[in-house]
């Protein structure tokens, strides 16, 4: 008569040990193979996940969201920012004018913009491109972005900085499938970075190559962070969302000039309220030789004007 252990069909000591050893090592291996999940630490919080669309938020909800953003930024960078939700002012429509006779192509505006708007330093995201064009032509096919001469301006060339043109008829807004980008009453086309799904349709639609995509997590050194932030402006973006020039919303809606204008050493950049007949931009559009809106034939009607002296 055999022992119950040897003839029981289900379990004996040996098979139990074997099975449990296999099971243990299998579970350990499963746990180890799931280890990369630990690196997924930036799951959105519940409040962030359930956050409403910008235009649907009540002031109280917005205040809560701003607090949360301040907290998130502090958690990431160790510095407490001041985040505001600045709304467009009544009777204000912003217009930019750029004097092509004066611009020397020094690219100071590019970097002042990066510093002001907390753009990723690595990989580099820049809103302004300074095109170098030969005299006597406005053929953008001949434009060069990457020139690096010892001294500017160079003989025989002129420079044309291009950034978001804040179109009156913006193609980027039309293609957005989730209404994460729209035109405000003061003429600035804004992006809700928390609503953007990163489909990049707007980037494809923009004829000025003004929109930038965060392919990776943006990298900003802590000491370079600009702590004066706006919800629709320069608050830090996350991976997978679009961004672009917003006329420095955190400055201009507080009455200040944009950062690119302040830094321009030759005074080629002009900005102001076109609805005010005494503003600089009104004077320029009235009296100067305003030559182009870039790619006028596209019908986008930019709020960014290029003009010449003489």
**Rule CB under 8 A: which of 251-290 touch other proteins?**
252, 254-257, 261-267, 270-273, 279-280, 283-284, 287-288
Minimum Å distance from CB 104 to other proteins? 7
Among 13, 43, 146, 177, binds other proteins (CB under 8 A): 146
Whether the Cβ atoms of residue 210 and residue 163 lie closer than 8 Å to each other: yes
CA dihedral 57, 59, 61, 62 (to 10 degrees): 80
Which lies closer to other proteins via its Cβ, residue 121 or residue 168? Answer: 121
**# of chain residues touching other proteins (CB under 8 A):** 75
Question: Among residues 72, 83, 99, 103, which is the contact residue for other proteins, using CB under 8 A?
Answer: 99
Complex with other proteins: residue 46 or 150, whichever CB lies closer = 150
CB neighbour burial string for 56-90, b if at least 16 within 10 angstroms, e if fewer: ebeeeeeeebbeebbebbeeebeeebebbbeebee
Give the footprint of other proteins on residues 56-95 (CB under 8 A): 89
- Is 122 a binding residue for other proteins by CB under 8 A? The answer is yes
Cα(126)–Cα(116) distance, rounded to whole angstroms?
11
Q: Using the rule CB under 8 A, is 111 a contact of other proteins?
A: yes
Q: Which of 64, 134, 138, 147 binds other proteins (CB under 8 A)?
A: 147
By CB under 8 A, residue 200 contacts other proteins: no
Question: Based on CB atoms, which residue is closest to other proteins, 234 or 273?
Answer: 273
Helix (H) or strand (E) holding 229: strand 228-230
In angstroms, give the least distance from the CB of 126 to other proteins. Answer: 6
| DSSP annotation string for 83-125 | EE-PPPPTT--EEEEEETTT-----HHHHHHHHHTT--BTTB-
Residues 6+ apart with CB under 8 A from 140: 131, 133
Tell me how far apart the terminal alpha carbons of the chain are, to the nearest angstrom: 116
Nearer to other proteins, 45 or 239 (CB): 239
Helix (H, G, I), strand (E, B) or coil at 257: coil
Burial-class residue 309 by CB neighbours within 10 Å (0-12, 13-18, 19+): exposed
Min dist CB 227 to other proteins, Å, is 16
12 HSE (CA, 13 A, CB side): 9
Cβ nearer to other proteins, comparing 171 with 240: 240
Closer CB to other proteins, 55 or 155, in the complex: 155
Select from 68, 71, 121, 200 the one that contacts other proteins (CB under 8 A): 121
Cβ at position 283, least distance to other proteins in Å: 4
Residue (153 or 240) nearer to other proteins, CB: 153
Long-range Cβ contacts of 39-42 (<8 Å, 24+ apart) = 42/238
Nearer to other proteins, 181 or 258 (CB): 258
**Residue nearer to other proteins on the CB measure, 9 or 177:** 9
Q: Is 169 in the site for other proteins (CB under 8 A)?
A: no
Angle at 274 between CA 257 and CA 169, to 5 degrees: 100
Applying CB under 8 A, which part among 68-76, 98-106, 190-198, 236-244 lies near other proteins?
A: 98-106
Compute and round to an integer the Cα radius of gyration of the chain. 27
Residue numbers 14-43 binding other proteins by CB under 8 A: 15, 18-19, 22-23, 25-26, 29-30, 32-33, 35-36
Distance CA 237, CA 198 (A): 12
């Amino acid at each position: 008569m055999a022992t119950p252990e040897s003839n029981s069909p289900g379990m004996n000591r040996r098979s139990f040990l074997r099975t449990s050893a296999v099971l243990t090592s299998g579970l350990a291996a499963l746990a180890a193979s799931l280890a990369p999940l630990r690196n997924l630490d930036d799951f959105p919080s519940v409040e962030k996940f359930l956050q409403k669309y910008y235009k649907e938020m009540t002031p109280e909800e917005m205040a809560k969201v701003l607090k949360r953003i301040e907290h998130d930024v502090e958690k990431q960078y160790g510095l407490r920012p001041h985040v505001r939700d600045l709304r467009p002012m009544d009777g204000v429509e912003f217009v930019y004018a750029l004097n092509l006779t004066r611009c020397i192509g020094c690219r100071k505006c590019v970097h002042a913009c990066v510093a002001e708007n907390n753009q990723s330093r690595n990989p580099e995201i820049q809103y302004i491109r300074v095109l170098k064009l030969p005299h006597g032509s406005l053929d953008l096919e001949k434009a060069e972005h990457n020139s690096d001469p010892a001294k500017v301006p160079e003989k025989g060339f002129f420079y044309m900085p291009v950034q978001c043109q804040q179109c009156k008829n913006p193609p980027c807004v039309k293609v957005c499938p989730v209404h994460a980008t729209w035109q405000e009453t003061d003429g600035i086309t804004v992006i809700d970075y928390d609503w953007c799904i990163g489909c990049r349709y707007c980037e494809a639609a923009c004829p000025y190559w003004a929109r930038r995509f965060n392919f990776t997590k943006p990298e900003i050194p802590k000491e370079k962070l600009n702590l004066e932030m706006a919800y629709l402006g320069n608050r830090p973006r996350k991976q997978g969302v679009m961004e672009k020039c917003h006329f420095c919303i955190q400055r201009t809606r507080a009455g200040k000039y944009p950062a690119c204008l302040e830094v321009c050493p030759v005074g080629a950049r002009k900005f102001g309220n076109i609805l005010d007949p005494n503003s600089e931009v009104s004077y320029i559009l009235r009296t100067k030789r305003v030559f182009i809106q870039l790619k006028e034939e596209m019908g986008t009607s930019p709020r960014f004007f290029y003009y010449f002296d003489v």
